Chains A and B, each alone.
Chain A
Amino acid sequence: MDDKENQLVAMVLAGNPDAFEPLVRPYRRALLGLAYRITGNEEDAREAAQEALLNSYRYLGGFDQRRSFRNWLLRILVNAAREAARSSSSNRALGLNDGADPVEPAEGPAGRFERKELGLRLKDCLAVLSERERAVFLLRDIEERSIRDTAEILGCSSASVRVHLSRARIKVKAELERRCPGLAGGGS
């Protein structure tokens, strides 16, 4: 954790709420992006991110400043997003785009269609993962966090992350092969 973050944390804890916004601003996109991948839709993602901001402010006093603030914040977010995904009445909590969410303005209709199709297929593949496998897979392979960071965010050991990651990759590969053989690198 860098000095600037330490100072901002100290300021918030000293009763200066204005220091909170600059403290969390560097993670603004990561908060919403990860919540979106876990919950599978933007509305639940915003709620989860809002809950994470609230809890991070409320429990900042319990944060160990020797550790990574980003990982601590993302851990709160993952818990909030998993809760939101569980309580969501829809069954969209599968990790990737449902096709109704953001689009790239520069992308043509054909590109959008292809991406939507791929997203839906990938969504089906991720559906075979358990909740923990999905969280590990999203953090390590989609968000590209390190094994150590993933373990810290999920509150488990690196060995546990490796076990779940291995299972998740094998399952995703098998599902890709089964559902869309052209996608899963079927080369011999």
Chain B
Amino acid sequence: MTCRACRSLAALVAGGDLDGRKRQRWEKHLAACPDCRREFRQVQESLARVRSLARREQTPDWPEAAWRQAVNRAVEQARRPAAPASLRLPGWAWAGAAGLLVALIAAGVFVLKPGRAPRPAPERNLWADIILPEMAPPAPAEPGTAPALLPRPAASSSRRPAAGQPALPPPRHPAPTVTAMTFVSQETGLTVHWIFNDAFIY
């Protein structure tokens, strides 16, 4: 047995935690090695001092009323119905969701910032392509007004009705420029607003 192995085992022997053949080999080495004997004595004494100090140290105890209260609180809390599985998420998931929510709100505020120049209308607009194939090209959007949906010029429409067929009626509702969705949690009251512009960019 090496001195290193002997010292490692000495720490166990000092607390009475080694027996059997390993102990016999350790004792044999110790009998022939004064350095390991000294090391062993030091471990024994330091352990005895630590244990003695721990015994002298006063650890706290429960006052009777506090104990009863702690037990009752534990029973009451444990008997409450557990949160639904959907709400039992790790902390990082909630933090991530909160971060995403803040980013969405910030993006929404940025998109709808007052005084911002209206975005040029898209060159091709699906709504106009489908619903308003025959409408004339609109006037350019005036500054400060919401961008109008641009119908596609009739001449370039691939969906133009054939000759002799009646033209499609004008739209009954003006095309929306902003769409907003609001989600409200019935349990937490958390409110999430999603706001999209005409190109469905939130």
Q: Which residues of A contact B (CB under 8 A)?
A: 17, 20-21, 24-25, 28-29, 32-33, 36-37, 42, 45-46, 49-50, 53-54, 56-58, 96-97, 101-104, 115, 118-119, 122, 140-142, 144, 147, 162, 165-167, 169-170, 172-173, 176-177, 183-188
* Cβ contact within 8 Å between B74 and A184: no
Q: Is B120 an interface residue (CB 8 A)?
A: no
For the complex of A and B, list the 4 residue pairs with the smallest distance between their C-beta atoms, beginning with the closest. Answer: A185-B45, A53-B74, A33-B59, A169-B11
**8 A Cβ contacts from B78-93 to A:** 78-79
Chain A residues, CB < 8 A from B78: 54, 57-58
Given contacts A28-B67, A170-B43, 11 further A-B contacts (CB under 8 A): A20-B74, A33-B59, A33-B61, A36-B59, A46-B60, A53-B74, A115-B53, A141-B51, A142-B54, A169-B12, A169-B15
Complex CA gap A144/B54 in Å reads: 10
Indicate which residue in B14, B38, B53 contacts A169 across the interface (CB closer than 8 Å).
B14
* Cβ contact within 8 Å between A102 and B60: yes
Q: What's the A-B contact tally at a CB cutoff of 8 Å?
A: 132
- Name, among B51, B71, B73, B77, the residue most crowded by chain A CB atoms within 10 Å (CB to CB): B71
Between A and B, 25 residue pairs with Cβ closer than 8 Å are A21-B68, A24-B71, A29-B61, A46-B66, A50-B74, A53-B74, A54-B74, A97-B57, A102-B58, A102-B60, A115-B53, A115-B57, A118-B53, A141-B15, A141-B51, A142-B54, A162-B12, A165-B12, A166-B12, A169-B14, A169-B15, A176-B50, A184-B45, A187-B41, A188-B38
Chain B interface secondary structure, helix, strand, loop or mixed? helix
Complex CA gap A185/B54 in Å reads: 17
Complex CA gap A17/B73 in Å reads: 11
Complex CA gap A114/B26 in Å reads: 37
* Cβ contact within 8 Å between A103 and B70: no
Complex CA gap A184/B14 in Å reads: 14
Complex CA gap A10/B7 in Å reads: 48
* Cβ contact within 8 Å between A57 and B15: no
* Cβ contact within 8 Å between B60 and A173: no
Chain B residues, CB < 8 A from A96: 53-54, 57
Q: Which residue of B lies closest to A23 (CB)?
A: B71
Q: Is B193 an interface residue (CB 8 A)?
A: no
Q: Which residue of B lies closest to A42 (CB)?
A: B60
Complex CA gap A2/B177 in Å reads: 75
